[in-house]
Amino acid sequence: MDLAGLRVVKAVADTGSVSRAAEALNCVQSNVTARIKRLEEDLGVDLFLRLSRGMEPTPAGRVLSGYADRVLRLVAQARDAVAEAAGRGGRLAVGSMESTAAVRLPPILARFHRDHPDVELTITPGPTETLLGDVLAGRLDGAFVGGEVAHPDLTARRIFDEELVLAEPAAGLTTDSARRTLIAFGRACAYRGRAEMAMREAGRVPFRVMEFGALDAILGCVGAGMGVTVIPRSVVERDPWRELLVARPLPQALGRMPTQFVRRTDAIETASLRAFLDAFSGDTASVAHSKKAATGATGSPTSRAGLNGSSAAC
């Protein structure tokens, strides 16, 4: 048993097919088949069921796949830690809701890159449910997601709170059809459920949903009068949308949602990840202090007092 064999086991378990595993590993199918056969002979058990529709892990195969996942993640973390110790910088793969990446992250990332130029940082946008799956699978070191997270394999750190609003075109909705049209991301978005509840509570039923995969497409369609959306307030308040959209407040139970940074509980916190999170902690603390000085308020900052006055969406 070696790392190459573990990579093959994980690839076949993840894809359910020798051909797709070979494609993912950039090798020929015969190598995948030979590796699986060698491991089965070495361990004395069948690791996969050969079915007409593909390969399905046996109970023993699922156990080995789980260990392979952990071992391979640990090896990747070890390489990054060694690179950091040698002064070559580290690597970070971070996921983010799309508008968090567009609105919240740029000033923080600019400062982080200035202070840590040797860290190779990759930001992958996506909806909350997809990002959680990628963190659990080890494809991401962590991710900014919306809503509360309760999972035994994940550690969540609250970064800021968002105030959600119902966004409508500044020129007004001219048809009842537009009033009953929700423009939103897919169901993997953390805000989608809140948006549908807001439509029901506003009496805009029955309503239809138009799904888009890009934030600017959603905002542009709302601005053009095609429908409404639910989005954090400061997304609406930034240029150019402040002139094109108006924000209607939501009931408090629907209008407040935390944004959290999640990572695997068993993952090693590298120096690069620690520095990345410290960049957010310092910025949040600075904004909270400014708010207290101006208003005398106490407690955690909300979206109105968030990072650089910006907010985020899926």
CATH number at residue 154: 3.40.190.10
Q: Which residues on adjacent β-strands are paired with residue 56?
A: 49
Of 36, 63, 84, the one marking the end of a domain is 84
> Are 244 and 132 found together in one domain?
no
CB 160 within 8 A of CB 306: yes
Global pTM value: 0.75
Final residue of a domain: which of 62, 84, 106?
A: 84
Q: Mean pLDDT in each 10-residue stretch from start to end of the chain (314 residues)?
A: 90 91 91 92 92 89 90 82 72 90 88 90 93 91 93 93 93 91 92 92 92 93 95 89 93 91 89 88 50 35 27 44
Closest CA to 276 of 80, 76, 132: 80
- Domain of 285, in residue numbers: 86-161+257-309
Same domain for 140 and 284: yes
Query: How many Cβ atoms are within 10 Å of 184's Cβ, its own excluded?
Result: 25
Query: pLDDT at position 79, please?
Result: 81
Rounded-to-integer distance, Cα 195 and Cα 28, Å: 47
Instruction: Please identify, among 53, 84, 115, the residue that sits at the C-terminal boundary of a domain.
Output: 84
**232 and 93 in a common domain:** no
Same domain membership, residue 168 and residue 147: no
> Long-range contact list for 65-68, CB < 8 A, 24+ apart?
65/9, 65/10, 65/13, 65/14, 67/6, 68/6, 68/7, 68/9, 68/10, 68/13
For residue 302, the model assigns a pLDDT of: 28
pLDDT at 234: 80
pLDDT tens for 249-297 read 999 889 999 999 999 998 888 888 888 999 887 555 444 443 443 333 3
Structure confidence at residue 283 (pLDDT): 58
Same domain for 183 and 102, yes or no, is no
| CATH classification at residue 48 | 1.10.10.10
Q: What pLDDT is recorded for position 77?
A: 76
**Do 147 and 10 lie in a common domain?**
no
E strands in the chain: 48-51, 54-57, 91-96, 120-125, 142-146, 154-169, 181-184, 208-211, 229-232, 245-249, 256-264
Say yes or no: 101 and 241 in one domain.
no
Residue 314 covered by a domain: no
Please report the pLDDT score of residue 284 as a whole number: 52
